């Protein structure tokens, strides 16, 4: 297959600003290229990849859907990179069998019937905007089987009637080393942004007086500073946005990973990265996390927003077997399993 991947217009590929979908794009492309398919990636200028041939497109970045109100109208910055990406796709469409949209944006859905080359849409977020929902529903009816999501919980946020492919996620397990033992510290790995709920991890650190290694893109500095002020006794050790090789090394040294999202997490790639290192995950029973963690086996699912339950689970984590975590990652989230799911999906759309 000849595939053109179109990345999100919120930031450059490789910058971390796109969140987990960046890792997903990287891993799908890597596995499909290994299977002798052609994959090209069109992304905003500044994008870098050692593995995927990348076409840089100029233009202004878009704001995050999660920072908008549900009823906001569709808006575009002047010289929008999203518009430029899709103008490029329109020009080169006949060189590809399939175009794959990785942006949670109105324009690619709107354009779908006007393209001659089929478009697959991989939606990496739960429902956030009414104007998106309307188009997602429409395209799911007119172009059946062309919309993919990470998890059932994510699909459910769009309502029951929508026909989605549930594709889960996967990682290159060779890049993640199993660490059989840990130090007395926890990990919290995500973009530093309100929807990720870092304040609840800070509350746990303060209550149990345990250090937390914080890794991730500093998306909202004011939010970070507010947490510092509100939880002065919390031991949050911010390490920055780390490359996978370093991320897995430091994550592997932790007793568990805390996942405390305030939104319906579509999936949570960091959960499978933790499992691959042998690190159990303590997460809110909210969104895609529910479909990853095996309660009391590879982590704990706790009542959302309940700090006491988080603290209780932290105390119980030493009873879990770290080897079970690695085994689950190997069984369910390998690169080849991911490749099988996406290859089959793409082939079904190309027909």
Out of 127, 269, 313, 328, name the contact with ligand UDP by CB under 6 A: 269
Binding status of residue 216 toward ligand UDP by CB under 6 A: yes
Binding status of residue 122 toward ligand UDP by CB under 6 A: no
Binding status of residue 242 toward ligand UDP by CB under 6 A: yes
Interface stretch with ligand UDP, choices 82-90, 133-141, 183-191, 302-310 (CB under 6 A): 183-191
Binding status of residue 268 toward ligand UDP by CB under 6 A: yes
Interface stretch with ligand UDP, choices 172-180, 266-274, 303-311, 323-331 (CB under 6 A): 266-274
Rounded least distance, CB 351 to ligand UDP, Å = 31
Q: How many chain residues interact with ligand UDP (CB under 6 A)?
A: 19
Interface stretch with ligand UDP, choices 97-105, 236-244, 291-299, 303-311 (CB under 6 A): 236-244
Binding status of residue 126 toward ligand UDP by CB under 6 A: no
Out of 32, 43, 189, 320, name the contact with ligand UDP by CB under 6 A: 189
Question: Over the chain, what HEC string results?
Answer: CEEEEECCCCCCCCCCCCCHHHHHHHHHHHHHHHCCCEEEEEEECCCCCCCCCEEEECCECCCCHHHCCCCCCCCCCCCEHHHHHHHHHHHHHHHCCEEEECCCCHHHHHHHHHCCCCEEEEECCCCCCHHHHHHHHHHHHHCCCCEEECCHHHHHCCCCCCCCEECCCCECHHHCCCCCCCCCCEEEECCCCHHHCHHHHHHHHHHHCCCEEEECCCCCHHHHHHHHHHCCCCCEEECCCCCHHHHHHHHHCCCEEEECCCCCCCCCHHHHHHHHHCCCEEEECCHHHHHCCCECCCEEEECCCCHHHHHHHHHHHHHCCHHHHHHHHHHHCEHHHHHHHHHHHHHHHHC
| Residues 304 to 333 in contact with ligand UDP, rule: CB under 6 A | none
Binding status of residue 257 toward ligand UDP by CB under 6 A: no
Q: Which is nearer to ligand UDP, 44 or 151 (CB)?
A: 151
Rounded least distance, CB 216 to ligand UDP, Å = 4
Query: Using CB under 6 A as the criterion, which residues of the chain lie in contact with ligand UDP when the complex forms?
Result: 16, 19-21, 23, 189-191, 215-216, 241-242, 244, 247, 267-270, 273
């Amino acid at each position: 297959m000849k595939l053109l991947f179109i990345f999100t217009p919120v930031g450059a590929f490789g910058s971390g600003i796109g969140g987990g979908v960046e890792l997903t794009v990287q891993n799908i492309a890597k596995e499909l290229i290994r299977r002798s398919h052609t994959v090209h990636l069109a992304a905003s200028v500044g994008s870098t990849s050692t593995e995927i041939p990348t076409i840089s497109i100029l233009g202004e970045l878009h704001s995050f859907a999660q920072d908008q109100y549900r009823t906001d109208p569709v808006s575009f910055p002047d010289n929008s990179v999203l518009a430029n990406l899709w103008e490029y796709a329109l020009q080169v469409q006949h060189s590809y069998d399939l175009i794959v949209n990785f942006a949670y944006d109105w324009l690619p859905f709107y354009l779908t019937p006007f393209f001659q080359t089929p478009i697959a849409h991989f939606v990496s977020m739960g429902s956030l905007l009414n104007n998106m929902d309307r188009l997602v529903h429409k395209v799911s009816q007119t172009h059946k089987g062309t919309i993919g999501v990470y998890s059932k919980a994510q699909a459910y946020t769009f309502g029951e009637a929508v026909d989605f492919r549930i594709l889960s996620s996967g990682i290159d397990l060779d890049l993640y080393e199993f660490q059989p033992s840990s130090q007395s510290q926890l990990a919290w790995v995500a973009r530093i942004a309100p929807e990720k709920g870092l304040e609840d991890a800070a509350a746990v650190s303060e209550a149990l007086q345990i250090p937390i290694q914080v890794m991730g893109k500093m998306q909202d500095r004011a939010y970070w500073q507010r947490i510092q002020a509100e939880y002065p006794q919390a031991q949050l050790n911010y390490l920055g946005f780390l490359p996978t090789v370093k991320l897995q090394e430091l994550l592997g040294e932790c007793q568990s990973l805390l996942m405390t999202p305030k939104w319906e997490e579509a999936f949570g790639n960091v959960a499978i990265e933790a499992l691959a290192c042998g690190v159990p995950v303590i997460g809110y029973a909210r969104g895609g996390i529910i479909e990853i963690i095996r309660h009391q086996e590879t982590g704990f699912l706790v009542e959302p927003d309940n700090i006491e339950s988080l603290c209780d689970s932290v105390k119980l984590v030493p009873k879990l077997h770290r080897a079970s975590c690695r085994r689950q990652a190997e069984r369910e989230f390998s690169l080849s399993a991911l490749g099988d799911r996406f290859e089959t999906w793409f082939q079904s759309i190309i027909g």
